[in-house]
Amino acid sequence: MLFNYFYKFILKPLFFQIDPEEVHERMTSFGVLLGKSSLTRSLTRQFFQYKHPALHLNVAGLSFENPLGLAAGFDKNARLYSILPEVGFGFAELGSITGEVCFGNPKPRVFRIPQEKSLLINYGLCNDGSEVIVKRLKNVTFPFPVGISIAKTNNSSLNFKESIMDYRKAYRNLHSFGAYTTINVSCPNTLDGQTFGHPENLKPLLDFLSKEKHSKPIFLKIKPDFLPVQMKEIISIVDTYPWITGYIISNLTLHREGLITGKETLDALSLKGGLSGLPVQKRSNDLIKLTHKHTDKIIIGCGGIFNGQDAYDKFLYGASLLQLITGMIYEGPGVISTINKELVMLLEKNGFKNLQELVDSVAQH
């Protein structure tokens, strides 16, 4: 695709000379502008969108034109829903959105690690808060399936009970919006380091949220760094809550060892923050495989998807849908249609009529 070359050789070298958060803010504003007009949406569609009937999927009672979704963390304030389907995504997850407004961690808080095809991210859940975003979405009709990710406000003064109440506020405000809700229990960048992904914290949170209405699919977003014994404990807990549809595997990794880039170099950029992209790939895949083996709940695979084979592998390991961000930043927005085209070719090569057949086949094993 012509735009892919234009991005790789013209835009990307320019963007990578600018602070990554500034680039993100500019591109978000540009995306909002493109989404406002039917003309600009149509032009975007002509440049990027790729459709093929073999990519259609039904997952958790929802219909998807293709399996590639935008992961939470990119459209933190729910502003890009109009343009994302035109870029080629089959769905998107907005947020994470917290109970209260959250300004995030001090800047700089995003760093590119090109040799790892990764970002070191320490945003700290900056977003406008659930009350503001509810007003923004009040009269919106989404053009494709949209998930809403909620998380705990990044405020170290909140005690354990107050943190759970904060989750409930975000849940109550936002669960009625979108096609599904994600409970993010794995953000590694909160000031207090408090995560609800660990069993001792997860169960009280889920017990509390069990009292709420569950009118649509609900997913848990977890970190990739669990040991098998830890993940099996989480699965045994989550399986006792029938209202939880499945998992998003995974969030950022905190592991900085075993990379081309030395830990000292990463620590010099920021002692805090998690890595996205390629460093997450194997950890995410291993956790998808383990989770698929021990539960029937649905898995959305996220982490280290840069091409069609990366995407196809996650389906083989047990994912039913996929999400990405970092691949788009390194390869450009054209990578979405490229991955979808490569998926169609891989399905044909491996004797599957469509993606649904592959997903159903893996689910039975």
CATH at 350: 3.20.20.70
Positions of the chain with pLDDT under 70 = 1, 192-194
Compute the distance between CA of residue 21 and CA of residue 41 in angstroms, rounded to an integer: 25
What is the pLDDT at residue 109? Answer: 97
Distances (CA, A) of 174 to 95, 178, 210, 354, 356: 11, 8, 16, 34, 30
Per-residue pLDDT, 365 = 81
* Conformational region of residue 120, where left means phi above 0, alpha means psi within -120 to 50, and beta covers everything else: beta
The domain of 269 spans 2-363
CA distances from 259 to 115, 191, 339 (A): 9, 26, 25
Please tell me whether the peptide bond between 82 and the residue prior to it is cis, using omega within 30 degrees of 0. no
* pLDDT, position 124: 95
| pLDDT value of residue 194 | 67
pLDDT at 195: 78
Instruction: Look at residue 5 in the predicted model and tell me its pLDDT.
Output: 87
Q: Pick the closest to residue 232 from 299, 290, 318 (CA basis).
A: 290
Both tokens of 302, joined, read: 């996220």
Q: How many domains does the chain have?
A: 1
Query: Which of 160, 179, 191 shows the shortest CA–CA distance to 273?
Result: 191
Taking the C-alpha atoms of residue 346 and residue 54, their distance in angstroms, rounded to an integer, is 11
pTM, full prediction: 0.97
